[in-house]
A and B are shown apart, each in its own frame.
Chain A
Amino acid sequence: MSKSDLNIFLEFSAGAELLFGNIKRRQVTLNGDEKWTIRKLLKWMHANILTERPELFIQDDSVRPGILVLVNDTDWELLGELEYEIQPNDNILFISTLHGG
């Protein structure tokens, strides 16, 4: 029994959604009694919602090269990358970079 829930939104774009059941936006509820970093969220995603070819999403405990992570429309690099501590109602977007033209 958790005392509080940590509700956040996960979004996937430009093809990343194909690895997550083709759902572009979803709300997930994490255990609010624990501290959640992106590092921990990635493990949770791998175990719970990553449905296809994990190597196209995760590599060496981080996202694979070519995927950008954006927290509330800001590059995660500005926020501490894997160590960023997730806040209630954060919107976390995973986007594959495109190369076609």
Chain B
Amino acid sequence: MAADSEDVSKELANISEEIRSLRLKLADKTRQLEDLQAAQRADEADNVANERSANSIFTPRINDLTNDEIERYSRQLILPGFGVTAQTKLINSSFLIVGMGGLGCPAAQYLIAAGSGRLGLVDYDTVDRTNLHRQTLHTERTIGLPKVESAKRALEQLNPNCRIDLHKLMLDSRVALDIIKQYDVILDCTDNVVTRYLLNDACVLLNKPLVSGSALQFDGQLTVYHYGDTCPCYRCLFPVPPPPHAVTNCGDGGVMGAITGVIGSMQALEAIKVATGVGETFAGKLLIFDGMNGIFRNIKLRGRSRDCKVCSENPMITQLIDYEQFCSMHASDDDQPLQLIPSEERIDVFQYIDMRSQPHLLIDVRPQNEFEICRLPSSVNVPLKEILDNKFIERFANELADEKLPIVVLCRRGNDSQIAVQHMCNKFPSHAIRDLIGGLYAWHYKVDKDFPIY
């Protein structure tokens, strides 16, 4: 019986693997076919054009645009207020997109489609599945590839006329100036405070306009820094970085993909306006987008600050500094594991497995939303908030009456659970209350790889 079931699972695995490889082959062949068909169509179109032109008269050109460009950008060229002049400026402009995530993907997509001459893409990270809901240039097929590489593949399909340069690295004070100076307009599509200060200072030092976007949950913000005499820079608005515990990233707070789509697309528009001089930009103004309630607001910002440490007449910052130190944060949205409580108040997943058959109380302190995604059997949900405001005491009066009953607290990664244990131990010092090290992540990586992570 056991041998039988082993054979069956082997057969299952074999067939799954076979289907997977056939699917890949099919996708490959389909792409080859599409490429050939596209080439054939282009040839036919050229032949028709050549036949005609053999009999026609040479007509002198009145601008530098090629026929491909005139056709490709025709809907822009006929726009009142844009036209050949702006299009030619755009073709001669270069843009640096820092961060190929939720903002960088749509920004790059519209910039390249519109006919930007050269794009530089900066990102140190690789594509993973949690990116795909909003980072729309990356696909199932490019998971695991560097984001800049994955984005380049998609962008080349959109417009072959544009040059794309890749910078697969984390932008820091050593390399920032050398990269930024090669471009005309810089787009801040990053996900962290540290890189935002770095980009701001580098752009001020090199006198480059900075188109800044950000998004979290259902909210988005957009402005243009350091563009024109009166326009403030990021430091004029925020001379002091926020305290690290007040900063939420997309991995913890979540973000709606279409919100980054809206803001990233607007960054492309602002960058095009800056490069071509068309229209009025968001320099000196801040756009606030509340996507949950459908509200756009336009805020009038202060001017350039006379006391600004980097963009005033007498700046204190004349070269790049150590921005991780300045912000007391890391230059990525990765979560750093906390060690908040002593080791004896923490157990690992294997210690938990050993004690699982004994009576115990397993408290999951994640928000209810997240508890509905996945959970350990027999865990009860008490969001951190209800631990900290002591609501849990009444709810678990019976369990807490028994000092001997072990209590294990867990969360997604093992940070919030430590905050909870610290609070509970202060209230109930003689109880055995333990934090599950690494939370559900540790459960996935060390115990059950089929348990979902998010």
Interface residues of A (CB under 8 A from B): 13-15, 24, 55-56, 59, 64-66, 68, 70, 73-75, 77-78, 93, 95-101
Chain A, Cβ-Cβ closest to B301: A75
- Asked whether B302 is an interface residue with its Cβ less than 8 Å from the other chain, the reply is yes
- B237 with A68: CB separation less than 8 A: yes
**Knowing A13-B290, A15-B216, A65-B240 touch, does A98 contact B221 (C-beta < 8 A)?**
yes
Partner of A98, one of B220, B243, B293: B220
Given A66-B243, A100-B333, 15 more A-B residue pairs with CB atoms under 8 Å apart are A14-B219, A15-B217, A65-B238, A65-B243, A70-B299, A77-B302, A97-B214, A98-B214, A98-B220, A99-B247, A100-B191, A100-B249, A100-B250, A100-B255, A101-B101
Min Cβ gap B349→A in Å is: 30
- B238 with A99: CB separation less than 8 A: no
CB interface residues, B 237-288, toward A, < 8 Å: 237-243, 245-250, 253, 255, 260, 286, 288
A97 to B241 Cα, complex, angstroms: 11
- Asked whether B300 is an interface residue with its Cβ less than 8 Å from the other chain, the reply is yes
A24 to B214 Cα, complex, angstroms: 20
- Asked whether B193 is an interface residue with its Cβ less than 8 Å from the other chain, the reply is yes
Interface residues of B (CB under 8 A from A): 99, 101-104, 189-193, 196, 213-217, 219-221, 237-243, 245-250, 253, 255, 260, 286, 288, 290, 293, 297-302, 333
- B99 with A73: CB separation less than 8 A: no
**Knowing A66-B238, A68-B237, A100-B333 touch, does A14 contact B221 (C-beta < 8 A)?**
yes
- B333 with A74: CB separation less than 8 A: no
Chain A, Cβ-Cβ closest to B253: A100
- B246 with A101: CB separation less than 8 A: no
A65 to B246 Cα, complex, angstroms: 10
Q: Mostly helix, strand, loop or mixed at chain B's interface?
A: mixed
- B192 with A99: CB separation less than 8 A: yes
Q: Contacts of A66 on B, CB cut-off 8 Å?
A: 238, 241-243, 246-247
A70 to B215 Cα, complex, angstroms: 19
A41 to B290 Cα, complex, angstroms: 25
Partner of B298, one of A73, A78, A96, A97: A73
Q: Contacts of A59 on B, CB cut-off 8 Å?
A: 243
Q: Contacts of B301 on A, CB cut-off 8 Å?
A: 75
A-B contact pairs, 17 of them (CB 8 A): A24-B293, A56-B246, A64-B242, A65-B238, A65-B239, A66-B238, A75-B299, A78-B302, A97-B221, A97-B242, A98-B220, A99-B249, A100-B214, A100-B333, A101-B189, A101-B214, A101-B215
- A99 with B300: CB separation less than 8 A: no
- B260 with A101: CB separation less than 8 A: yes
A74 to B297 Cα, complex, angstroms: 11
Min Cβ gap B198→A in Å is: 13
Chain A, Cβ-Cβ closest to B221: A98
A13 to B220 Cα, complex, angstroms: 10
Min Cβ gap B308→A in Å is: 12
- A98 with B298: CB separation less than 8 A: no
A96 to B108 Cα, complex, angstroms: 27
Q: Contacts of B288 on A, CB cut-off 8 Å?
A: 13-14, 95
**Knowing A65-B242, A65-B243, A99-B193 touch, does A15 contact B237 (C-beta < 8 A)?**
no
Q: Contacts of A65 on B, CB cut-off 8 Å?
A: 238-243
A101 to B247 Cα, complex, angstroms: 13
